[in-house]
Amino acid sequence: MAMLQNRRKHVLTAYTLVLPFIAIFCLVFLYPAFRIAQLSLTDSTLIGDGAFVGLDNFRKLLGDRLFWTSLKNNGYFLALTVVPTTLIALGIALMVNRLSGRLQALILALFFLPYVLPVSVVTTIWLWLLDQQFGVLQNVITFFTGRPIPVFKHPVWVMPAIAVVTIWWTNGFNVLLFLAGLRNIPQDLYEASALDGATRRQQFRRVTWPLLWPVTGLVLTLQLILQLKLFDQVYLLSEGGPFNSSYVLLMMVYRAAFQLNQGGYASAIALVLFVLIMGLSVLQFQLLRIGGRR
């Protein structure tokens, strides 16, 4: 009897600890997701219910040229940011890991500082730096192209420029993740490999990279999810232009919901984006698991 009462007490304690999380999860995730799925099947406005239209919103979306343009821009942005961000963060972490003391703390703080800045400050800084007339970095662009270029108003330059801004802004967190992974690698492995005559390159290939693979997979997955939700910096730097060359899926959601008052259509776009993020994230995670076993 005493054992049964003790078990019930432990179960009650566990439920007490878990229930707040479940309640918040249902309130801020499950219910909004269910509501979006429900609204996507209606012709409702942003506020209020509408008539049931079935899959009409999704048919309309598949026939919308702007949707395919936005999807292509999202894919292009992923190619510009996910892998480059991971490689840059890994390189920075390897360099910072060799430092020590106050110098290491200072360098790490300099790389992490942009991450704590709000997006409005980040975009203002880069608008100044890349201003066509007075921007400091226009001297670098002029050196290679022969003339100043309004990068955020140029259909070829706009997405790479936004990618550079995004990498500069968000890479500090990735550096911290890689640095934590590097510090968890036992130093005995490096000492043993050095005694066997391994070079630094061989140590990286045989020791660092395999043991750092779980952190690499985490960074790649987080970056995939983060960059698919691209909106803030595009809206503030280019507003989707020029000629929709930087228009992305979340801008379609914003336009349909807040400018055209089409809540049902906006919900359909948001649902498609949600499924896309979930599908690509699961696919990438499984591929990374397979790669990690080899």
- pTM score of the predicted model: 0.88
**pLDDT score of 245 more than 80:** yes
**Residue 44 lies inside a defined structural domain of this protein:** no
pLDDT per residue as tens digits for the range 125-168:
999 999 888 888 888 888 888 888 899 999 999 999 999 999 99
**Residue 43 lies inside a defined structural domain of this protein:** no
**Residue 194 lies inside a defined structural domain of this protein:** yes
pLDDT value for 288: 75
For the chain, the domain total comes to: 1
pLDDT value for 71: 94
Amino acid sitting at position 123: T
Domain CATH number, residue 123: 1.10.3720.10
**Residue 275 lies inside a defined structural domain of this protein:** yes
Query: 194-218 burial by CB neighbour count: b if 16+ within 10 A, else e?
Result: eeeebeeeeeeeebbeeebbebbbb
Instruction: Choose among 223, 222, 256: nearest CA to 70.
Output: 256
pLDDT value for 281: 85
The residue range of the domain holding 133 is: 63-292
**Residue 36 lies inside a defined structural domain of this protein:** no
**Residue 8 lies inside a defined structural domain of this protein:** no
**Residue 163 lies inside a defined structural domain of this protein:** yes
**Residue 76 lies inside a defined structural domain of this protein:** yes
Residue 208 C-alpha from the chain's centroid: 25
pLDDT value for 232: 92
Tell me what the pLDDT averaged over the chain comes to.
Answer: 88
Q: By the 8 A CB rule, do 220 and 86 touch?
A: yes
pLDDT per residue as tens digits for the range 209-221:
888 888 988 899 8
Q: Token pair of 182, please? A: 């590097």
